[in-house]
Amino acid sequence: MAALPGPLRRIVFLSMAKKVLFAPGAPAGAVSLGMEELRSCRPETMLKDMRAAEALDLTETAARLDVPTLILCGSQDRLTPPALSARLSGLIPRSRLRIIEGAGHMLPLERPDRVNQEILQFAGGLGAPSVVAAAAEPPRERSLAQRVRDRAHQIGTHVLSALRFHRST
- The predicted model scores a pTM of 0.67
Q: What is the CATH number of domain 6-168?
A: 3.40.50.1820
Mean pLDDT per 10-residue segment, the chain (169 residues): 60 78 91 86 80 88 92 94 95 95 93 92 76 51 69 61 54
Per-residue model confidence (pLDDT) at position 3:
59
Give domain limits for the chain. Answer: 6-168
Per-residue model confidence (pLDDT) at position 38:
82
3-state SS, one letter per residue, for the chain:
CCCCCHHHHHHHHHHHHHHHHCCCCCCHHHHHHHHHHHHCCCHHHHHHHHHHHHHCCCHHHHHHCCCCEEEEEECCCCCCCHHHHHHHHHHCCCEEEEEECCCCCCHHHHCHHHHHHHHHHHHHHCCCHHHHHHHHCCCCCCCHHHHHHHHHHHHHHHHHHHHHHHHHC
Per-residue model confidence (pLDDT) at position 6:
60
